[in-house]
Chain A
């Protein structure tokens, strides 16, 4: 059978000999490679540099990209791309190159703007293929974590950091009445005082928690049910509570600050928070699957 017969999305256009699945696989691959690519540090051996670069990325990102490619590989490969699809793909390739002139900061980068546009294009044009829609959903969640979440945080950082300090300061006022908080500062006046900065904020990793929830739900069952909203809420709240607990411990005394901010406690927190959101997301996805 001629695959051209399946070119359902090419009404009025001559189909190209490339499938829309392949186009998306290429676009996702360019984004993913740029996402994981780190310019290797020159002050260490090559292998150590590669290892350091790869471990600088959250395990949730690896999982998200894996599930996105898994879904794309299941998309219908028989449907050929239209001229508009190919034109869009070439334009986005150029746009990704153009966004690389903007310096990245951590995982954030201007290429996420292009990723968002690709996801929206998939939602609008390829809505007849569920696997493409799910891959696009993950891409949207990755963009939220890579750009939109941090951008929102930067714009409202003062308000969010004050809310953070108030949350921890309010808790401390019950257990340690001598500790006060004002603005983003918490501590004993004249003794140990900490300032809540952006990277330590309770609200900083919420977009990562949401990415984890979206990825695990799609990996587990490939569709969303109403109860997933509660899972999302639980995942976000767990992240806020864990971060608040960490700031609480750092505000108590200098030893606590040193351990949870610079010492082994920081790694314990990273592992504990990642494990918590993963476990909650898996549990929520399984409970939702049994109810569906």
Chain B
């Protein structure tokens, strides 16, 4: 290979990498503007009543459950999780959900792995989810079971991002 051909390839690679990065950053700005809390409220409203906004997250009432379910949006690093858990009743069970990953312990590794997977899939348009760097902590009282039909994944689903339900904030008398 002639050295000029190699130089041409290298310059093209440099230009392409900068273009791809600019596009990625632009998408990231879009992700930052997504109404994540609104999406969480929408999912909660689909199965719970009396959804209220708390200082850190949201509380909702599940049928046949005497105490509220608390859903808290968190950064994917889960750095706030330990202190939030301490602020709740000690007997609450905590579950961390991020797109297709769900776990009980404060272990961010698997969530990051899921984020990597979704980011790669999103770059080729092979996933319906937005790889936002935000997870949710679902806290339930021990006497209650969260119905398996709750579609937590729709929080990150791109096509649901701006449905009427989602784009409406928690309002009216339910807001606190």
Q: Known contacts being A17-B3, A30-B10, A157-B108, is A97 close to B119, with CB within 8 Å?
A: no
Assess whether B13 is in contact with A37, with CB atoms less than 8 Å apart: no
Assess whether B112 is in contact with A86, with CB atoms less than 8 Å apart: no
Residues of B within 8 A of A (CB): 1-3, 6-7, 9-10, 13-14, 16-18, 20-22, 24-28, 77, 79, 82-83, 86, 106, 108-109, 112, 116, 119-120, 123
Determine the distance from Cα of A104 to Cα of B83 in the docked complex, in whole angstroms.
27
Determine the distance from Cα of A39 to Cα of B23 in the docked complex, in whole angstroms.
9
Most buried by A among B9, B10, B77, B86: B10
Assess whether B18 is in contact with A37, with CB atoms less than 8 Å apart: yes
Q: Known contacts being A86-B1, A93-B10, is A37 close to B108, with CB within 8 Å?
A: no
* Interchain CB contact (< 8 A) of A101 among B14, B77, B112, B119: B119
Determine the distance from Cα of A34 to Cα of B10 in the docked complex, in whole angstroms.
13
A63 at the B interface (CB under 8 A): no
Determine the distance from Cα of A101 to Cα of B1 in the docked complex, in whole angstroms.
29
* Interchain CB contact (< 8 A) of B1 among A16, A103, A195: A16
20 A-B pairs within 8 Å (CB atoms) are namely A16-B6, A18-B2, A18-B6, A26-B7, A26-B10, A30-B10, A33-B18, A34-B18, A89-B10, A90-B9, A97-B20, A100-B20, A102-B116, A103-B28, A111-B17, A154-B77, A158-B82, A158-B106, A195-B83, A198-B77
Determine the distance from Cα of A195 to Cα of B127 in the docked complex, in whole angstroms.
36
- Contact-residue size bin, chain A (C-beta under 8 Å from the other chain): 35 or more
Could you tell me the distance in whole angstroms from the C-beta of B26 to the nearest C-beta in chain A? 7
| A103 contact set on B, CB distance < 8 A | 24-25, 27-28, 119
Assess whether B82 is in contact with A184, with CB atoms less than 8 Å apart: yes
Q: Which 9 pairs of residues, A with B, have the shortest CB-CB distance? A: A93-B13, A101-B123, A18-B3, A100-B20, A26-B10, A39-B25, A100-B21, A103-B28, A97-B17
Assess whether B17 is in contact with A39, with CB atoms less than 8 Å apart: no
Chain B interface SS verdict (over half): helix
* Interchain CB contact (< 8 A) of B21 among A29, A34, A86: A34
| B112 contact set on A, CB distance < 8 A | 154
Determine the distance from Cα of A86 to Cα of B112 in the docked complex, in whole angstroms.
34
Could you tell me the distance in whole angstroms from the C-beta of A231 to the nearest C-beta in chain B? 32
Determine the distance from Cα of A278 to Cα of B45 in the docked complex, in whole angstroms.
56
Determine the distance from Cα of A94 to Cα of B10 in the docked complex, in whole angstroms.
10
| B2 contact set on A, CB distance < 8 A | 16-18
Q: Known contacts being A100-B21, A103-B25, is A155 close to B109, with CB within 8 Å?
A: yes
Assess whether A86 is in contact with B6, with CB atoms less than 8 Å apart: yes
Residues of A within 8 A of B (CB): 16-18, 22-23, 26-27, 29-30, 33-34, 37, 39, 86, 89-90, 93-94, 96-97, 100-104, 111, 154-155, 157-158, 183-185, 195, 197-198
12 extra interchain contacts, Cβ-Cβ under 8 A, other than A86-B1, A100-B21? A22-B3, A27-B10, A30-B17, A100-B17, A100-B24, A101-B123, A102-B116, A103-B24, A104-B24, A157-B108, A158-B106, A183-B82
Assess whether A185 is in contact with B1, with CB atoms less than 8 Å apart: no
Determine the distance from Cα of A33 to Cα of B112 in the docked complex, in whole angstroms.
26
| B123 contact set on A, CB distance < 8 A | 101-102
Assess whether B10 is in contact with A39, with CB atoms less than 8 Å apart: no
Q: What is the chain A residue whose CB lies nearest that of B3?
A: A18
| B1 contact set on A, CB distance < 8 A | 16-18, 86
Q: Known contacts being A16-B6, A155-B109, is A101 close to B17, with CB within 8 Å?
A: no
Could you tell me the distance in whole angstroms from the C-beta of B9 to the nearest C-beta in chain A? 6
| B109 contact set on A, CB distance < 8 A | 154-155
Most buried by B among A23, A27, A93: A93
Assess whether A39 is in contact with B21, with CB atoms less than 8 Å apart: yes
Could you tell me the distance in whole angstroms from the C-beta of B131 to the nearest C-beta in chain A? 8
Determine the distance from Cα of A8 to Cα of B18 in the docked complex, in whole angstroms.
35
Q: What is the chain B residue whose CB lies nearest that of A101?
A: B123
